[in-house]
Amino acid sequence: MRSVALLVAMCLPHAAIAACPQELAVYEEAEAKAGLEFTPADPGAATSHSFKLKFPENSVILDGLGMMTDDPPRNHGMLTKDCPVGDVTGEELDACTVWQGTIYAVDAEGRAGPLPPQGQPAARQIVLTDLAAYIRQSTVWGVGGLSKLPYDVFSMSGCQE
């Protein structure tokens, strides 16, 4: 009986993760130990996804958003640091942008595709293309910032409740 209870207890986190909607999913990256946390996107905004990328080293937190492009249909993402609020110019946005590129979701069978929409089960992995290259060229890299570059792949580790 004890072994059955232990088996059930071991499976519960996996079941909870499997039922997690994309807007509450949490991911981890192995190299820099970075965490990617999705949050519900504002329903009135042009963005389809909202997230934060957190680095435990030096407590660096980047704000992220995802938007679906039309041709070809892909999730385009952006990570920023300390952007001004309200109406911003293109120059101001460029100055605070750390990364921008394609976001891919990888399902349980290893197939890459677009991010699941809010309310749908979360992807098993998230790929932020060329993330390390962008970070190395940004203001968050180096003195007073990050010294470990993240890999582009984040694996699901939990679900916010």
Contact 106, 128 (CB under 8 A): no
Residue 17's pLDDT is 64
Where residue 10 falls among pLDDT bands split at 50, 70, 90? very low
34 class by beta-carbon count within 10 Å (0-12 exposed, 13-18 middle, 19+ buried): buried
* DSSP one-letter code for 146: B
CA dist 47 → 2, 42, 44, 66, 125 (Å): 48, 8, 9, 6, 20
Q: Where are the strands (E) in 56-139, listed by range?
A: 60-68, 75-80, 97-106, 112-113, 125-128
Is residue 4 scored above 80 in pLDDT? no
* Residue 73: band (very low, low, confident or very high) from pLDDT cuts 50, 70, 90: confident
Q: Which two tokens stand for residue 134?
A: 């962008």
**Residue 135 reports pLDDT greater than 90:** yes
Whole-model pTM: value is: 0.85
